[in-house]
Structure 1
């Protein structure tokens, strides 16, 4: 019988028995779960009289733990015969489950994406300094998002290649399980925070794009929605159980412990909202672009430049699909490494897409021929006059540049006066 022939219910039962046995063997926390289950199975075979005097003490001595812990395990299973049956079954089933490991693809993907994103972000900063003379607040926010993504990726790179490299709990020890759970919780909290920072950078960029009220109200509303979803995600993961860290040794067999939060539903719900907000952020500037007096070619270029962020939506959707398959899908798709690959891809891709406008402005400024433009053409292009979306006019006025608030101007005074000659 192979791993694929073992039912999901049987696999889940084996996982539970292995973890319970690892918890019991307090004095052997560095020993693999399969070995501990084997020891327990041999003990029951050698000691078939469950009513023997001092039976609990023998188990406590075998496991290097206290009699009170032994009694907790006995109470959980009801009696020793029941536990002995499932331990025997698990001992026979574990060899059929094989030794699945994480994919080794995460580390090279992470390194490549980190290098590419670092170059893109550096070009973005250089573009700001070269064209307008200073780096803006939303650039610093995105830079913070980059470092948070880098930390998130480094954490996963270490964990996936050490404590969680073996995917089967029977191939891990109790310390590995603890580290895996701690890492999973921290990643589940760091991920929405990183997403919030990246999206906040984009929304802040849109907010300062123009004083046009519909754009600003759409930006504020979306920001509030993103913040609410982030808070719900963090609180849902942080307080999914009572006690809050149910995998810690004394909490694991807590008879009063409970986990009322369905983490699968939490991930699907908040992930779906995350995709929706991605789409909304992508669409926010589109009405403003079509209100501008641009040629069809310029409008199409503008839509594609800002709309390239839709690629991050696709990565987010694929990540969500892989999370769903991790619960109900095939062993390959349930690999945590694959989920981490798409998570890091989503985060880095969002930062790359958010930097495209600034990089396009840099190319038009330094090497316009690369985009099929000439310097003379750029002077006639109303869209490029505003440093590529950095300061659009207020569409509530026919002479908006003349009435735009100086407080939202992001260009030098001489540039502003030169552009004021072109009324939109």
Structure 2
């Protein structure tokens, strides 16, 4: 019979594992697609069926210790040859889908423009209405630039590196660059989030006069800082050496990387919720008209949208952290991260924008002679309202200023997987036997990459 057509998820995971391991081994082919490296190896074994170690090393450019380690994992030399022949035979049936990086381009463009405009309006509002730009505003500007750095790095990865969704569509050098970008993005995200949250907390600290509320701000900052440092340190040191792609066979990585990212991601969402809820008790105590109080609560509650984006990001991490069937979709995680960071900046700037609208476009918020709640009062209360006008104006002025992809797991080609492969293969001079179509590989072989 011919080559099997209906490849299972286990088949595709094993194919990804073989291409990764052979891709790293063949140093002479680091700029060649890993699936083409497999074909080159197949041609080499056809010409040299009983190739010795020195001949394999000369052809591939591998280091002796790398070949020795790989053969130890496989159990015997014939396993290497059989896996290469199997993968070369099914290569025409492997899926080749374009990378998902195109999703990120419009998201980056739209949110960068909107966030830039919002931040510029925020600074204008602070300067012209609130008496000047404060320290927490400059911290937010820094958070904006860190968000741009993250977004630009993710965009570069999406456009220039994420050309395919499968590992067999990449060369080893491209895979190594992906791993470097994953570490960089894993570090940039919590830093940008910490800076944005620090700006908000400092703003709250300047508003709160009560000891309990100020202690709450400090406690929230400590919790956020601890979570951020945990993510950064884990992202850097989860593998030894840090640049694990340079020592593929001897490097050691945490085999449960998904769990720490999900736990720390949940803690970050918790800190988001705490930060956006913190000012609400203070806003509820303000002496405002009911409609103004509702508007102020709504302004502060806009942060819920950033929290929702955080939840969607965590869901993407849960779904796409590991590759499935040889396919990785890290750009989807990066897309939700960009949405989350930009929404946090936009929502944090809402109070300043509201103050700007009250000053320059009061009709947008129903302020003015025909828009205030006092218009609903009867005429016999007008004197009382006018008597308290100066006080209400002062209150109103005061309220204007309120506001981890493709981790590549270091699972080697498992002997149990290839043992089933070998037991199911009965190669003859004319091709592959009927048994090939029934070969089913263990789905426990995973290849992934850190987000």
Alignment correspondent of 1:289 = 283
Task: Specify which of 360, 363, 366 is matched with residue 357 of structure 2.
Answer: 363
Matched, 1:76 2:70: no
Matched, 1:326 2:327: no
Superposition deviation, residue 347 in structure 1: 0.4
Q: Within 5 Å, which residues of 2 pair with 1:102-121?
A: 102-103=99-100, 104-121=102-119
Superposition deviation, residue 318 in structure 1: 0.8
Deviations 1:15-74 (A, max 9, x none): 221111111111221100000011112333443336xxxx11111121123434332322
CA distance in 1, matches of 2:181, 2:365: 45
Task: Specify which of 170, 173, 191 is matched with residue 172 of structure 1.
Answer: 170
CA distance in 1, matches of 2:199, 2:3: 50
**Conserved? CA contact 2:3–2:89, under 8 Å:** no
Task: Specify which of 249, 261, 275 is matched with residue 253 of structure 1.
Answer: 249
Alignment correspondent of 1:350 = 344
Alignment correspondent of 2:397 = 385
Deviations 1:318-347 (A, max 9, x none): 111112111479789952222221110100
Alignment correspondent of 2:294 = 300
Distance 1:240 1:61, change over 3 A: same
Alignment correspondent of 1:206 = 204
CA distance in 1, matches of 2:7, 2:198: 46
CA distance in 2, matches of 1:383, 1:350: 27
CA distance in 2, matches of 1:139, 1:91: 58
CA distance in 1, matches of 2:4, 2:219: 49
Matched, 1:32 2:33: yes
Alignment correspondent of 1:419 = none
Matched, 1:265 2:266: no
CA distance in 1, matches of 2:4, 2:145: 40
Distance 1:329 1:32, change over 3 A: closer
Alignment correspondent of 1:89 = 86
CA distance in 2, matches of 1:320, 1:4: 35
Q: Within 5 Å, which residues of 2 pair with 1:403-422?
A: none
Superposition deviation, residue 177 in structure 1: 0.6
CA RMSD of aligned residues (A): 2.5
CA distance in 1, matches of 2:395, 2:344: 24
Alignment correspondent of 1:62 = 59
- Tell which has more relative contact order, 1 or 2 (C-alpha 8 A, sep 6+): 2
Alignment correspondent of 1:156 = 154
Distance 1:170 1:242, change over 3 A: same
TM-score, length-scaled by structure 1: 0.84
Q: More displaced, 70-79 or 277-286?
A: 70-79
Q: Within 5 Å, which residues of 2 pair with 1:310-321?
A: 310-321=304-315
Superposition deviation, residue 387 in structure 1: 4.7
Tell me, what secondary structure is at the counterpart of 2:31? coil
CA distance in 2, matches of 1:150, 1:4: 45
CA distance in 2, matches of 1:8, 1:232: 34
Gaps of at least 5 residues in structure 2 are 373-388, 404-451
Paired positions, count: 383
**Conserved? CA contact 1:131–1:387, under 8 Å:** no
Tell me, what secondary structure is at the counterpart of 1:167? coil
Alignment correspondent of 2:413 = none
Tell me, what secondary structure is at the counterpart of 2:161? coil
CA distance in 2, matches of 1:70, 1:330: 27
Deviations 1:213-270 (A, max 9, x none): 222111111110000000110111110012222111xx2121xx32136221111111
Matched, 1:138 2:150: no
Superposition deviation, residue 94 in structure 1: 3.6
Alignment correspondent of 1:15 = 16
**Conserved? CA contact 2:146–2:192, under 8 Å:** yes
TM-score, length-scaled by structure 2: 0.79
Superposition deviation, residue 2 in structure 1: 12
CA distance in 2, matches of 1:319, 1:287: 29
Deviations 1:78-103 (A, max 9, x none): 22111222222322344323212223
CA distance in 2, matches of 1:11, 1:56: 28
